[in-house]
């Protein structure tokens, strides 16, 4: 088995035992990138030179016994997280030449833990998409079937882990952008509670919804990364000073005596039969392990999509107003005056989906429509949160499909925005309520495409998610498949 195929915890054991070196692990990952990146296209930019230096530094720390929890582990970063001295594009032409003067807090934490950064991964432009097809830098392909999408918006981060082009990665999740691509690429993806992980240095899409989280090969690795990135950050105004447990302590505990809610609204017409069958098998396995699975109702679920596509575009149009061709980023040439500069820079700098959402958001916030749209959506959002609060009063966790279908073909939904938006129908609610969610592989379709199951828990209950996800991981039939790249 090659080093790039191993998990974080497997590599940690080898590194600490002196069976391999950080340089060898990093070299293995870059050889894999050289072999498959031309097909997968998971990265926008690579950080090969600095990665070798970071590996050497990690190796020195390992020799001295001063190594952090991620020493020598190659990790990729979604290209929406600021990296000092390295280009951060958000998958957009408008930021093609943007080099941040500082690191995001999560980058600082990973660096302090000894991580080796392999590069910046591809994404839907400004995280607006469900397939990584809106990126200015081209479409990332699903490692399980190169003719299919990897999910989005963090498709590059998910594909890189699935393809062995890094050991773990970070993504961001505004409406499912970690969990949905994790399910479609057959990896683990966790969206933490809003406020659990600092957003400082995360380029904003929708500020009340965005959250950073990990993609990993298994649940134990997810716990390891969460131990590093979670915690209060005084530099970030929405960061919550809540105690952070040792997430590895939740591994292997089991779910005997748990009550798991199965929301009837998530098993609806349109869900792929193979997805539903895989999720139903998950329910059976958990019941066999001593959990009590009960049907529950989240009655305002049917409004989630409408609420999300008012609130998210409204916040996006406000956040993206800063890209004006004046202060930083792309600037159009030959403008007659300031207004012409704004118009030309934004028209040429933004892609079609970003423009669509700016227009939707501007309309929802416009005079005479604010109360009818944004205010009403915010009120319904409160009801959606209340549904979850009520459910968690009687349930330890909630179980749902992560996505309605396995990965679809590239180009299949690009001409139908509504069908594309429906790809996130099972994940949006967690962002609106601010609760954590995790997607774990639960099987494969007849065509060999991964399927994911989603677990949801109450605010700041990531440990509970790791507990049920790791319990299921041990119960599930072992399918050690890898993409045939």
CA–CA distance, 288 with 276 (Å, rounded to integer): 19
Listed residues 344, 378, 412: the one ending a domain: 378
CA–CA distance, 241 with 35 (Å, rounded to integer): 44
DSSP secondary structure letter of residue 195: T
- Which residue in the list 28, 92, 157, 177 is annotated as catalytic? 177
Q: Which residues, other chains included, contact 246 with Cβ-Cβ below 8 Å and sequence gap of 6+?
A: 227
Determine, yes or no, domain membership for 89.
Answer: yes
* 14 classed as catalytic: no
Rounded to two decimals, the pTM is 0.97
pLDDT on residue 478: 58
Q: Kindly state whether residues 239 and 328 are assigned to the same domain.
A: no
Q: Which residues, other chains included, contact 335 with Cβ-Cβ below 8 Å and sequence gap of 6+?
A: 325, 341, 344, 345
Is it the case that residue 416 has pLDDT exceeding 80? yes
Q: Which residues, other chains included, contact 418 with Cβ-Cβ below 8 Å and sequence gap of 6+?
A: none
Q: Using 50, 70 and 90 to split pLDDT, how confident is the model at 269? A: confident
Q: Report the mean per-residue pLDDT for the chain.
A: 96
* 239 classed as catalytic: no
Query: What percentage of residues in the chain have a pLDDT greater than 90?
Result: 94
* 198 classed as catalytic: no
Q: Kindly state whether residues 88 and 201 are assigned to the same domain.
A: yes
- Which residue in the list 78, 120, 344, 413 is annotated as catalytic? 78
Determine, yes or no, domain membership for 49.
Answer: yes
pLDDT on residue 165: 98
Determine, yes or no, domain membership for 458.
Answer: no
Listed residues 318, 353, 378: the one ending a domain: 378
Direct distance between the N- and C-terminal alpha carbons of the chain, in angstroms, rounded to an integer: 15
Q: Kindly state whether residues 171 and 83 are assigned to the same domain.
A: yes
Q: Kindly state whether residues 233 and 146 are assigned to the same domain.
A: yes
Domain count, the chain: 2
Q: Where does residue 410 rank: exposed (0-12), middle (13-18), buried (19+ CB within 10 A)?
A: buried
Average of per-residue pLDDT across 250-269:
95
**C-alpha distances in Å from residue 459, one per residue of 182, 249, 394, 436:** 21, 18, 15, 7
pLDDT on residue 477: 66
Q: What are 119's strand-pairing partners?
A: 46
DSSP secondary structure letter of residue 7: -
Determine, yes or no, domain membership for 427.
Answer: no
pLDDT tens digit string along 430-469?
Answer: 999 999 999 999 999 999 999 999 999 999 999 999 999 9
Q: Using 50, 70 and 90 to split pLDDT, how confident is the model at 364? A: very high
CB atoms within 10 A of CB 447: 11
pLDDT tens digit string along 188-222?
Answer: 999 999 999 999 999 999 999 999 999 999 999 99
Is it the case that residue 418 has pLDDT exceeding 90? no
Determine, yes or no, domain membership for 460.
Answer: no
- Which residue in the list 92, 135, 153, 157 is annotated as catalytic? 153
SS3 call for 169 = strand
Average of per-residue pLDDT across 374-394:
97
Listed residues 356, 378, 400: the one ending a domain: 378
Determine, yes or no, domain membership for 362.
Answer: yes
Q: Which residues, other chains included, contact 349 with Cβ-Cβ below 8 Å and sequence gap of 6+?
A: 92, 93, 94, 323, 325, 329, 330, 332
Give the distance, in angstroms, between the CA of residue 187 and the centroid of all CA atoms in the same chain.
11
Q: Kindly state whether residues 160 and 241 are assigned to the same domain.
A: yes
CA–CA distance, 469 with 252 (Å, rounded to integer): 10
Average of per-residue pLDDT across 76-89:
98
Average of per-residue pLDDT across 234-240:
97
Whether 91 and 105 have beta carbons less than 8 Å apart is answered as no
The range of the structural domain enclosing residue 174 comes to 3-248
Q: Kindly state whether residues 185 and 321 are assigned to the same domain.
A: no
**C-alpha distances in Å from residue 450, one per residue of 168, 292, 343, 461:** 18, 26, 43, 26
CA-wise closest residue to 274 among 459, 126, 417, 404:
404
The DSSP result for 398-456, as a single string, is: EEEES-SSSPPBTTSSTT-HHHHHGGGTTTHHHHHHT--EEEEEEEE-TTS-EEEEEEE
CA-wise closest residue to 426 among 268, 208, 293:
268
CA-wise closest residue to 399 among 319, 299, 298, 307:
298
Q: Kindly state whether residues 316 and 218 are assigned to the same domain.
A: no
Whether 471 and 253 have beta carbons less than 8 Å apart is answered as yes
pLDDT tens digit string along 34-54?
Answer: 999 999 999 999 999 999 999
Is it the case that residue 395 has pLDDT exceeding 90? yes
Report the CATH number that the domain containing residue 226 is assigned in CATH: 3.90.1300.10
**CA max distance for the chain:** 71
CA–CA distance, 86 with 103 (Å, rounded to integer): 9
Determine, yes or no, domain membership for 83.
Answer: yes
Q: Kindly state whether residues 54 and 187 are assigned to the same domain.
A: yes
Q: Kindly state whether residues 237 and 334 are assigned to the same domain.
A: no
pLDDT on residue 481: 84
Which range among 167-181, 288-302, 416-430 shows the weakest confidence by mean pLDDT? 416-430
Determine, yes or no, domain membership for 120.
Answer: yes
Residue with tokens 């020493």: 71
């Amino acid at each position: 088995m090659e080093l790039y195929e191993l998990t974080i915890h497997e590599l940690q054991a080898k590194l600490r035992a002196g069976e391999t070196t950080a340089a060898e692990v990093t070299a293995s990952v870059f050889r894999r990138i050289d072999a498959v990146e031309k097909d997968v296209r998971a990265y926008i930019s690579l950080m090969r030179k600095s990665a070798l230096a970071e590996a050497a530094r990690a190796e020195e720390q390992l020799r001295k016994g001063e190594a952090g929890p991620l020493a020598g582990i190659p990790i990729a970063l979604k290209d929406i997280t600021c990296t000092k001295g390295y280009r951060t594009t958000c998958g957009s032409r408008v930021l093609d030449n943007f080099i941040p003067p500082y690191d995001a807090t999560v980058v600082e934490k990973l660096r302090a833990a000894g991580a080796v950064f392999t590069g910046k991964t591809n994404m839907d432009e400004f995280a607006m998409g469900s397939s990584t097809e809106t990126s200015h830098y081209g479409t990332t392909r699903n490692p399980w079937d190169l003719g299919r999408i990897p999910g989005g918006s963090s498709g590059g981060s998910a594909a890189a882990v699935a393809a062995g082009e890094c050991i773990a990665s970070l993504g961001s999740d505004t409406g499912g952008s970690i969990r949905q691509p994790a399910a479609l690429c057959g990896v683990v993806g966790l969206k933490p509670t809003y406020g659990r992980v600092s957003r400082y240095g995360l380029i904003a899409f929708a500020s009340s919804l965005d959250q950073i989280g990990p993609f990993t090969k298994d649940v134990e690795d997810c716990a390891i990364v969460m131990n590093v990135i979670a915690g209060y950050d005084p530099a970030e105004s929405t960061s919550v000073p809540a105690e952070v447990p040792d997430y590895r302590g939740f591994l292997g505990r089991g779910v005997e005596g748990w009550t798991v809610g199965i929301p009837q609204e998530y098993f609806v017409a349109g869900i792929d039969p193979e997805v539903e069958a895989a999720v139903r098998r998950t329910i059976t396995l958990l019941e066999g392990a001593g959990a009590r699975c009960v049907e529950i109702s989240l009655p305002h679920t049917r409004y989630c999509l409408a609420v999300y596509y008012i609130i998210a575009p409204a916040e996006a149009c406000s956040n993206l107003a800063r890209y004006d061709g004046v202060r930083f980023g792309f600037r159009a040439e030959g403008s007659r005056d300031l207004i012409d500069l704004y118009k030309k820079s934004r028209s040429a700098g933004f892609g079609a989906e970003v423009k669509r959402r700016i227009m939707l958001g501007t309309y929802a916030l416009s005079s005479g429509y604010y109360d009818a749209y944004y205010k009403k959506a915010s009120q319904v959002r409160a009801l959606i949160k209340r549904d979850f609060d009520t459910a968690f009063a009687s349930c330890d966790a909630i179980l749902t499909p992560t996505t309605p279908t396995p990965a679809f073909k590239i180009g299949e939904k690009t001409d139908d925005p509504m069908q594309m938006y429906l790809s996130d129908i099972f994940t949006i609610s967690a962002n609106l309520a601010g609760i954590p969610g995790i997607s774990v592989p639960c099987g494969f379709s007849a065509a060999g495409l991964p399927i994911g199951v989603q677990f949801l828990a109450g605010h700041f209950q990531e440990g509970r998610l790791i507990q049920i996800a790791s319990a299921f991981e041990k119960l599930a039939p072992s399918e050690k498949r890898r993409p045939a790249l």
